[in-house]
Amino acid sequence: MLCQSSTELMELVTLVKPYTKQGKVANYIPALGRANPSDLSISVFNIHSSKCQSAGDISVRFTLQSISKVITLALALVDHDEEYVFNKVGMEPTGDPFNSIIKLEMLSPSKPLNPMINAGALVVTSMIKGGTVQEKLERIMSFVRKLSGNNDISYSEEVAISEYNTGSLNRALCYYMKQHNVLDANVEELMELYTKQCSIETTCFDLAQIGAVMANNGTCPITGERFIPIEIAKICKTFMVTCGMYNASGEFAIRVGIPAKSGVSGGILGIVPNEAGIGVYSPSLDEKGNSVAGLKLLEILSKKHNFSMF
Ligand code: DON
């Protein structure tokens, strides 16, 4: 399916373009540092008309990074019941950066506070069913292909290796949780799966389609087929509101007011419940790891169309 260009979105991209000069492209994963900071794109998929509109550098592909945490949470909840999943990972926002270890040490048991932070996402990824890393990765990728309607989706080997080779902090989180019996996985295998999951590549159009399924309560707006059980879609959207933008989730709820999930690649998945899925991309990030221009695009669009749920 094609995404049409839209005058409204083109004007919005022009208006927001100067914000791409603010912030910094993530480079703690070295391969991400090669992104072009002036890239800016947006797609909006309306679930009622099944039409997609877009503007900006929409052919640019970027890695999901933390946006993948919503996908793996949904899949883990398909693979296991809620009790099993939330016995190992909590439901509360942290107020801390996404890769912080501090609450793990302060709380007993040292279970991660939610599935959107790195510690929680690592535990969730360890729950994905499959005999081998490859099999588990294939299940995650097929799920992304189904949700986005794009069978060509794959992952960037370059970004995955780059994160695998430099991810000492995530390894530290894993070993800490392993010591405290919260995590039971082989850490190197889990790191391989997690870094590959984070390196799945999409465009903002793919994100808008994924968002549209969630905005439509788990059902594909084009075919009517159920892709995610309704209760699971609801849990994912709720976590996106409370924890999706990390320690900026409160401000985002006030300024934009929709479920959203950011990634350090500069992508943001947005959901306007019962209305639309939104994908935005711009790689320059603020100090909390969220796309500066992406946030601005969403803020202006939300105010204009009264998207806020609150
Ligand atoms: O684990 C990491 O650090 C990255 N693969 C993902 C972090 C991320 O995207 C945080 N989001 N803003």
Domain CATH number, residue 42: 3.40.710.10
How confident is the prediction along the chain (310 residues), in pLDDT tens digits per residue?
A: 567 788 999 999 999 999 999 999 999 999 999 999 999 999 999 999 999 999 999 999 999 999 999 999 999 999 999 999 999 999 999 999 999 999 999 988 889 999 999 999 999 999 999 999 999 999 999 999 999 999 999 999 999 999 999 999 999 999 999 999 999 999 999 999 999 999 999 999 999 999 999 999 999 999 999 999 999 999 999 999 999 998 999 999 999 999 999 999 999 999 999 999 999 999 999 999 999 999 999 999 999 999 999 9
Decide: residue 229, CB within 10 A, 0-12 exposed, 13-18 middle, 19+ buried.
Answer: middle
Atom of ligand 1 nearest to the CA of 163: 5
φ, ψ of residue 291 to 5 degrees: the values are -65, 120
Distance between CA atoms of 95 and 80, rounded to whole angstroms? 28
Ligand 1 centroid, distance to 135 Cα (angstroms): 23
Q: Which residues line ligand 1 (CB under 6 A)?
A: 65-66, 98-99, 118, 163, 170, 198, 262-264, 289
Ligand 1 centroid, distance to 210 Cα (angstroms): 19
Q: Is residue 179 part of a domain?
A: yes
Distance between CA atoms of 39 and 19, rounded to whole angstroms? 11
Residues 131 and 279 in one domain: no
Residues 74 and 161 in one domain: yes
Atom of ligand 1 nearest to the CA of 169: 3
Query: Catalytic amino acids?
Result: 66, 69, 194, 246, 264
The predicted structure's pLDDT at residue 78: 98
Q: Domain of 96: which CATH number?
A: 1.10.1500.10
The label of the residue with tokens 């998945």 reads 269
Q: Would you say 110 is a known binding-site residue? A: no
Residues 191 and 205 in one domain: no
Tokens representing residue 199 in the block: 């390196």
Q: Would you say 246 is a known binding-site residue? A: yes
Nearest-CA residue for ligand 1 atom 4 is: 65
Taking each helix axis from N to C terminus, what angle separates 230-243 and 68-79, rounded to the nearest 10 degrees? Answer: 140
Ligand 1 centroid, distance to 196 Cα (angstroms): 12
Residues 228 and 242 in one domain: yes
**Number of compact structural domains in the chain:** 2
Distance between CA atoms of 116 and 63, rounded to whole angstroms? 16
For residue 255, the enclosing domain spans: 4-65+200-304
Nearest-CA residue for ligand 1 atom 1 is: 118
φ, ψ of residue 56 to 5 degrees: the values are 90, -155
Q: Are 83 and 34 in contact (CB under 8 A)?
A: no
Domain boundary among the residues 198, 215, 250 is at: 198
Residues 90 and 187 in one domain: yes
Residues 181 and 207 in one domain: no
Nearest-CA residue for ligand 1 atom 7 is: 66
Domain boundary among the residues 179, 198, 217 is at: 198
Point out which residues pair with 54 in neighbouring strands. 5, 43
Q: Is residue 309 part of a domain?
A: no
Residues 256 and 147 in one domain: no
Q: Is residue 33 part of a domain?
A: yes
Q: Would you say 306 is a known binding-site residue? A: no
Residues 81 and 186 in one domain: yes
DSSP letter for 289, please.
S
Q: Would you say 264 is a known binding-site residue? A: yes
Residues 90 and 8 in one domain: no
Residues 208 and 177 in one domain: no
Q: Are 121 and 72 in contact (CB under 8 A)?
A: yes
HSE-CB of 88 using CA atoms within 13 angstroms: 26
The predicted structure's pLDDT at residue 1: 57
CB atoms within 10 A of CB 62: 26
Residue of 24, 27, 63, 66 to mutate, ligand 1, most atoms within 8 A of C-beta: 66
Domain boundary among the residues 161, 180, 198 is at: 198
Ligand 1 centroid, distance to 171 Cα (angstroms): 13
Ligand 1 centroid, distance to 4 Cα (angstroms): 30
**Closest C-alpha to 70, from 257, 277, 253:** 277
